[in-house]
Chain A
Amino acid sequence: MRNPPTPGETMATEHPADPGLTNKDIRDLIRILSRTDVEELEVERSGTRVRLRRFGRTPPPPPAAAAPVPPAAAPPQAAVPPAAAPTEAPAAATPPSDGVTLGKGQEVVTSPIVGTFYRASAPDTPPFVEEGDQVKAGQTLCIIEAMKLMNEVEAEKSCRIVKVLLEDATPVEYGEPLFVIEA
């Protein structure tokens, strides 16, 4: 995340290890933001500044139904430029793609809910898919668990698994990229 030092700049400062804002920091900020009614948040650390703003929200729910409504517009695979720009980073209204770069004809499969990502149905069974596998429409790719609700994420079309983006049992956000696929 840190900008490379410009020629002549010394890295030996008082906080040599301060990386500014890391991907994890930004993910944490999004998580915090998504659970509040805050519309916009700007944070700066060690020269890295990130502004998060919601957009495409549905009208605010009545107070009795105050569940957070994640941004509905803009599919998460919409290009989110690297958030490490030295000045103002683009509004990260979609979850960060964590540096996912897509080749021609590739796209990402994203998480439909907040939860925990599992590559297999049980710890002692093989993963649903491996990188390089060809899968059919309707085939299970992974499970996202939230509150003992097991959500099987299925392939919407026949495709090849190019990359598995997360380790087994990793917490995921709504809209977070899980796989890179290509037709």
Chain B
Amino acid sequence: MALSQKSIEEVTASIPWINEVHFHEELPSTSEEARSLARAGATEGTVVVADCQSGGHGRKGRHWYSPAGVNLHMSVVLRPKVMPPERVPLITLMAGVAVCRGLQPLLGLRHARLKWPNDVQVEGRKLAGVLAEMSTTGNRIDYVVLGIGVNCNHPAGMWPPELAGQVTSLYEITGEVRPREQVIFQVLSHLGAAYNRLLRGETTECMESWKRLAATLGQRVSVRRGHDTLVGIARDIDTTGALVVEREDGTWETVTAGDVSLRPAE
């Protein structure tokens, strides 16, 4: 089922905060395109979708596998003008919650969960990811671009070797091929609602929603950072969304960036 400008506009027409849709068969990266549109003045609610990406990336420039015809690669421009920059990182937790909730009705009896800060997983395998990029001048936020990747109709057993066993898709989970437009509608509807709550200052609600869906809290984790690895038990998130980890010696540390993996108890 081929995505098109028209088919995406049809499903987003009923989502009031979506202002503009830009569909491309192929782009280097939907987030790069969205940032370039944002720099040129694109309004909040501008959406970029590509059928495939030649240079899709995740954290720290890592390649994001973006083949044609099966998955969703989408970026959205936000302009949270009233939000103090130090609260903006909560947007990425909020986005994780929205994607998780949006995909849940498509998953049957299987549950989507969040790995800190916003990977959507089903039974430990990654179904979707969110990467946010923000531009600020001094204390003013120019824009935030949310890049969202969802593994939709990718067949099981056909993943590249480096991803096999770590990722899954809606098709792999349910055996049903879904129109990607349906996934776009689900994600953007939930994203709009969650973003509005955050703009109204309902940060506690955002954090509580995240905690209810969290696969990470209470688990033994290792957090790979720039120069070291922190091992302990993930206890909580703080008011900025940072992960609070209790080390084996009983001391606590908050983490703002790193690769979290769950470790079975030894």
Please name all residues of chain B whose beta carbon is closer than 8 Å to the beta carbon of A148 when the two chains form the complex: 59, 92, 117-118, 130-132, 257
Q: Is the interface of A mostly helix, strand, loop or mixed?
A: loop
A145 to B60, CA, bound (A): 10
Please report the C-alpha to C-alpha distance between residue A149 and residue B133 in the assembled complex, in whole angstroms.
6
**A169 x B201 contact (CB < 8 A):** no
List which A138-153 residues lie within 8 A (CB) of chain B.
Answer: 145-153
Q: Which residue of A lies closest to B91 (CB)?
A: A149
Residues of B within 8 Å of A69, CB to CB, are: 84, 86
The answer to the question of B202 belonging to the interface, with a C-beta cut-off of 8 Å to chain A, is yes
B138 close to A (CB within 8 Å)? yes
A31 nearest CB across to chain B (Å): 8
B144 is an interface residue with CB less than 8 A from chain A: yes
Q: Which of the four size classes fits the interface of chain A?
A: 35 or more
Please tell me if B81 contacts chain A, counting CB pairs below 8 Å: no
Binary contact track A151-177/B, C-beta < 8 Å → 1, others 0: 111101000000000001111001000
Q: Which of B139, B226, B240 contacts A169 (CB 8 A)?
A: B226
Confirm or deny: A116 has a beta carbon within 8 angstroms of a beta carbon on chain B: yes
C-alpha gap A62/B62 in the complex (Å):
40
Contact with B along A96-128 (1 / 0, CB 8 A): 000000000000000011111010011111000
- When distances are taken between beta carbons in the complex, the residues of chain B under 8 Å from A56 are none
- Shortest Cβ distance from B258 into A: residue: A116
Q: Are B203 and A64 in contact (CB under 8 A)?
A: yes
Q: B14 interface residue, CB < 8 Å from A? A: no
Check B239 for interface membership: any CB of A closer than 8 A: yes
- A38 at the binding interface (Cβ < 8 Å): no
* Further 10 A-B residue pairs, CB within 8 A, beyond A69-B84, A122-B62: A61-B201, A65-B204, A67-B203, A69-B86, A112-B85, A114-B242, A147-B90, A148-B132, A149-B133, A151-B136
